[in-house]
Amino acid sequence: MFDAKNIWKERVAGVLNEVLEENGVRGNLDGAGITAEKPPKPELGDIAFPVFPFAKILKMPPPRIAAAAADKLAGFSDGEVRAAGPYINVRLDRGQAARAVLNAVFDSGKDFCKSDALKGRRVMAEFSSPNTNKPLHLGHLRNNALGESVSRILAACGAEVLKVCIFNDRGIHICKSMLAYIEKLDGTTPESAGEKSDRFVGDCYVAFNAMSKTDSGAEDRARELLRKWEAGDPATTALWKKMNEWAVNGIKETYRRTGISFDKYYFESETYLRGKEEVLKGLEKNIFYRETDDSVWADLEAEKLGKKTLLRNDGTSLYITQDFGTAIMRHEEWPFDKLIYVVGSEQRYHFQVLFTLLTRLGFDWASDLYHLSYGMVNLPDGKMKSREGTVVDADDLVDKLHDMALAEIREKEREEAVGSAPEIAEKIAIGALHYYLLQITPEKDMLFNPSESISFNGNTGPYLQYMGARISSILKKEGEKNDSANVALLTSDAEWELLKTVAAWPETVNEAAEKMNPSIITSWLYELSKNFSRFYHGCPILGAENPELKRARLALCRAVRRVLRSAFDLVCIPFLEVM
C-alpha cells in the first residue's frame, strides 16, 4: 500500500517527540496526532504539516519548531523536507513515489480500494422501499442510487452488507387503486391495456383520485375495502394479491434496468401484525397509553417530539406500527451492528419517533439505527409532487436519457464503431443518471437536469465513461500486458498530479464510507478526469519521445483505468470499452 502521508506523519511525530524531550517534556505523540495538509502552492511541496498545535507544550514559536523538526528530518531518500514559517513541507521523490503507487495498484489487483476499516461489521441497508400503488418516480431514483452506492462503498471497506427493501403493500393507498379497478377497470389487465404492470396499477390510483373529486363516497368505500382486507375477505385478498404482484413485478423490472439489487425483500403485510403486538406489549408495560376513544398513543413531550398515534381507535395499524415489527424481526433474523434507512428528509420526524420508542421498549440495538436522509429532487421546469399533479416517472426519465444518448451516438456517427448502439445508449443513460444524482451531498435538495446530465462534456457520467473508453482504446492499440516499465520516469507535473490522485483512491473510499456520502467519490472522479485530461494533452503516450517513456505512460494509463473501474462500480456507473 502506498501511504506516503501516513509514513511522514509517523516521522514528524517522531521528531516532534525528540524536540519535546530536548525541552524536558516527555513526548508521546504518534502519527494519528499529526495533521497533514495540501500546500497552497505546488512549489512548496506535496505534504504540509502545520506545527502551531505544539507551540504551547513546547513553549516555542511555531517557525522555530518547524525549523528544528525539518533539520532532524533531513536525509530520507524518499522526500526532501523544508521549513516554511510554521509549516514543515515535504517534497516527495516523484520517481520513487511513482513506483510505489503503481506497484500498489497492480499488486492489489482489483482490490486497490479495499480496506479493513469495517471488517467484521454487519450492516443492513434499507433503501427504495416503495408503496405498491404506483410505479417508481424520480425521488426513488435518487434513493436507489444512494442506497446501492453506499452499500457498495461500505462493502469495499470490509463490512458485511445486506441490502433490503420493504414494500409497503398494505393500507389505504393500495385499497384506493383496488377500488378504482373494481369500479372502473374490472376485467382489464396490464397485458390487455398494453402497459407495464406497475404503471397499470398507478393508473388505477390516478383514476381513484379523479373519481373521488366528484364522488364523495369513494373514500369511505376504500376504507371499507381496507376493513375487508384486514378481516381476510377472500375476494378482496385475491384482488390485493393480483394488483400487488403487478406493482412489485413492474418495480423489480425498473431495478433490473438500472442495476439496483437487493438481498432480501420485506413486505409490510408480513410484519405489521408483529408491530401491533409490540405496541400492545408496550401498552401493558405503561410505556404507551390508551385514549378515551380507544386509540393507542406514545407521549414524547419529554423529547420535544409531541404525541404520536400508534394504533387507530378501530385497532388498525398505521405506517409507524409496521416499522416496529419490521425492525424487531430484522434484528432477530440477522443481528446487525447497524441498520441504515435511506429515506427522504421529510420523514425525519418519523424516524426520530421510531428510534426513541424502540429504545423505550428496551431494545438496546435501537442506538444502531440510522436514518440516512436525503433531499428532494425536482426537474428544472416544475415541482415534483407525489400525490397529485405531475410525477416524474422513473421509467420515462430513463427512456428519455436513453433517447438522448442514442441521438448523440448517431450525431457523432459512432453507431458502427460502438457495436450495439441501443445497448451503449442504455449504459450511458444509467451512468449519466447515477453520476448526476450522486454528485450532490445527500441532505441537499437538488434539480435534475436531464440534458446537462447526459452531456458528453463537462462534469458528467458520460464524460467519465468517455475517458474510460479512450484509455481502453489506447491500451488496445498497444497490447494490455503489464511489461516491466520504468515508471520512475513519470516525473513531469502532469504525470505527478495524476499519480497523486490515483494514490488518493483508497483514502477517498474510506472517507466516503465514514460519511456515507458517495459525492466524495464523484468529486474524486472529477479530479481524476481533469488530471487525466491534462496528462493526455501534455504527455504524448503512443508518441512518447522514447519507447521506455511510452511503456511507463502506458502503465500509468492501466493504473488509471483500474481505479476508474472500481470507482465506477462504487457509484453505479457502467464501464464502457467503446463509446
| Sign of the C-alpha dihedral computed for residues 460, 461, 467 and 470 taken in this order | negative
- Least CB distance to ligand ARG at residue 467 (A): 36
Q: Smaller CB distance to ligand ARG: residue 173 or 561? A: 173
Judged by CB under 6 A, does residue 341 bind ligand ARG? yes
Site string for ligand ARG, 299-338 (x = CB under 6 A): ------------------------x---------------
Identify which of residues 282 and 325 has a Cβ nearer to ligand ARG in the complex. 325
Torsion of CA 256, 141, 130, 255, to 10 degrees: 0
**Stretches 35-43, 117-125, 128-136, 199-207: which one binds ligand ARG (CB under 6 A)?**
128-136
- List 97, 343, 398, 552, residue binding ligand ARG (CB under 6 A): 343
Taking alpha carbons only, the member of 575, 551, 493, 505 closest to residue 104 is 505
Side by side, the strands of the sheet bearing 289-290 are 289-290, 296-299, 307-311
Q: Which stretch binds ligand ARG (CB under 6 A): 54-62, 122-130, 453-461, 522-530?
A: 122-130
Q: How many CB atoms lie within 10 A of CB 192?
A: 10
> Could you tell me the three cell numbers for 257?
434496468
- Beta-carbon contacts of 535 under 8 Å, excluding residues fewer than 6 positions away, are 494, 495, 497, 498, 556
Least spacing, CB of residue 164 vs ligand ARG, in Å: 9
269 binds ligand ARG (CB under 6 A): no
Nearest distance from C-beta of residue 173 to ligand ARG, angstroms: 9
Comparing CB distances to ligand ARG, the nearer of 129 and 177 is 129
> Do strands 122-126 and 264-267 pair parallel, antiparallel, or not at all (unpaired)?
unpaired
Which residue's CB is nearer to ligand ARG, number 391 or number 557? 391
Contact between 530 and 464 under an 8 Å Cβ cutoff? The reply is no
Output the smallest distance, CB 337 to ligand ARG, in A: 18
**Which positions from 384 through 423 interact with ligand ARG, judged by CB under 6 A?**
none
Nearer to ligand ARG, 129 or 236 (CB): 129
Question: Rounded to the nearest 10 degrees, how much is the dihedral formed by the CA atoms of 243, 249, 254, 260?
Answer: 130
H or E stretch including 280? helix 268-284
> Which residue stretches of 157-196 are H helix?
172-180, 190-193
Number of neighbouring beta carbons within 10 Å of residue 175 = 25
CB 334 within 8 A of CB 324: no
Distance of CA 125 to the CA centre of its chain: 11
Select from 56-64, 127-135, 199-207, 509-517 the region that touches ligand ARG (CB under 6 A): 127-135
CB closer to ligand ARG, 129 vs 501: 129
Minimum CB separation of residue 262 from ligand ARG in Å reads 13
Supply the minimum distance, in Å, between the C-beta of residue 128 and ligand ARG: 9
Q: Counting Cβ atoms within 10 Å, is residue 278 exposed (0-12), middle (13-18) or buried (19+)?
A: buried
CB of 265 to ligand ARG, least distance (A): 13
Minimum distance from residue 323 beta carbon to ligand ARG (Å): 5
User: 148-166 b/e with 16+ CB inside 10 Å = b?
Assistant: bbbbbbbbbbbbbbbbbbb
Task: By CB under 6 A, tell whether 131 contacts ligand ARG.
Answer: yes
- Options 2, 34, 129, 513; binder of ligand ARG; rule CB under 6 A: 129
Nearer CB in complex with ligand ARG: 129/519: 129
Nearer to ligand ARG, 94 or 274 (CB): 274
Residues found near ligand ARG in the complex (CB under 6 A): 126, 129-131, 166, 168, 323, 341, 343
